[in-house]
Amino acid sequence: MKFIKLLSIFFFLFISCKKNDNPKTTYNDKKEVTGNVKHNHNSEYKTWYFSSLNFDKSYKNFTILISNDSIKILNANHLKCQGEIVQEKTTFKKYFKSDKTANEIREKLGKDYNLNTINEIIVISNANGDLTEEGCLFPFNELFVVDNKLFFYDKQYYCFASTEDKKLDNQSNLESVNIQLPYSKKIDVDNVKYYMIKENLIKGLDDFSCGDQEVRYLPLLSKNNINLILVPQDCGDFPYRFYLLTIKDNKVISNLYVEGEWGEPEQTERKTITTFSIDEKYIIEIQTIEIYNGKIESKEFTKYKINQEGIFVKS
């Protein structure tokens, strides 16, 4: 009888060990299921992508996922934080506490991000409150949605769009053309064909828009993430004037008057002609000629190079 009991116990222990002789396989199966659940769970979220309309690219690699009650922040597809949120409908005036502030911010966002003049916004905040250390503390506890665009503030406003934006740098916004160097052509102002770009896509470009919403330009070349373009400035008294601009990080960095004619209306016998050239080393030479009664009075040559920041520096 005792022998039978011992045999039964031995048999039970043998079966138990047999069931657990491959714990590694069991763990891997659980890991794969967890990954699938996480992927399916993300389908409940709406994805917001960094907009190319942002002047500053600090958050270029960030993606924001928002559901009805939670948020996930990804940096280069790596989870930065996640937490519970609260969404509340309100108006610009209520959110920014005054009509003046609300109108100023709405006007700025409208200009910088093509925002329609909508008064209603949706505020997204940390469900744990403003002063908590819990939940997703980025970006700074609070965001808001208006005109199907998501915004948050970090020294300036950043915009995220509900569709992925392929134009995340100024090279994408501008047409890419590399002229053959050396370059020393004169622009035929009567027959030239310009490219067009919205003045709010590049910071500082509105200074060269002649009051229009689009800027005419001629792309020249690109070097070390710096674009060189020519823009006409014919909205004043002189129809033949061109400026050379450097564009870097979606901003106008530097500008030079490089081509055109200038003269006082009451002194038609005197005029100043400016031309320029670019050599194989990207050195820009500007030639200024003073003419009086058809004769050359003086010539001046000035050379510039472009530094790493995109600034024209005399050489």
Domains in the chain: boundaries: 45-161, 170-314
Higher pLDDT, 5 or 71: 71
Position 300 pLDDT exceeds 90 = yes
Position 34 pLDDT exceeds 60 = no
Can you give the pLDDT at residue 143?
92
Position 245 pLDDT exceeds 50 = yes
Can you give the pLDDT at residue 35?
33
**Residue 19: band (very low, low, confident or very high) from pLDDT cuts 50, 70, 90:** very low
Residue 166: half-sphere exposure toward Cβ, Cα within 13 Å? 1
Can you give the pLDDT at residue 164?
67
Least confident of 163-167, 249-253, 285-289: 163-167
Mean pLDDT computed over 259-281 = 87
Burial class of residue 30 (count of CB atoms within 10 Å of its CB; 0-12, 13-18, 19+): exposed
Burial class of residue 40 (count of CB atoms within 10 Å of its CB; 0-12, 13-18, 19+): exposed
Position 168 pLDDT exceeds 60 = no
Which of helix, strand or coil describes residue 20?
coil
Mean pLDDT computed over 26-45 = 42
Can you give the pLDDT at residue 108?
85
Q: For residues 242 and 233, is the Cβ–Cβ distance under 8 A?
A: yes
**Does an H or E element contain 70, and which?**
strand 70-75
The b-or-e profile of 146-184 (16+ CB within 10 A means b, else e) is beebbbbeeeebbbbbeeeeeebebbebbeeeeeeeeee
Position 166 pLDDT exceeds 60 = no
**Residue 172: band (very low, low, confident or very high) from pLDDT cuts 50, 70, 90:** low
Q: What angle do CA 204, 51, 127 make, to 5 degrees?
A: 120
Please state, as a whole number, how many other Cβ atoms lie within 10 Å of the Cβ of residue 55. Answer: 17
Average pLDDT across the chain, whole number: 80
pTM of the model: 0.53
Can you give the pLDDT at residue 18?
41
Rounded to 10 degrees, the C-alpha dihedral 143/149/154/156 comes to -140
Position 101 pLDDT exceeds 60 = yes
Can you give the pLDDT at residue 165?
60
Can you give the pLDDT at residue 49?
92
Beta strands 46-50 and 142-146: pairing type?
unpaired
- Which residues have CB under 8 Å from 36's CB, separation 6+? none
Position 105 pLDDT exceeds 60 = yes
173-224 pLDDT, tens digit per residue, is: 787 777 888 999 999 988 898 998 888 888 899 899 888 888 999 999 888 8
Can you give the pLDDT at residue 139?
67
Can you give the pLDDT at residue 23?
37
Distance in angstroms (rounded) separating the CA atoms of residues 234 and 270: 20
Can you give the pLDDT at residue 135?
76
113-158 pLDDT, tens digit per residue, is: 877 767 889 999 888 877 667 778 776 668 999 988 999 998 889 9
Q: Tally DSSP H helices, then E strands, for the chain.
A: 5, 17
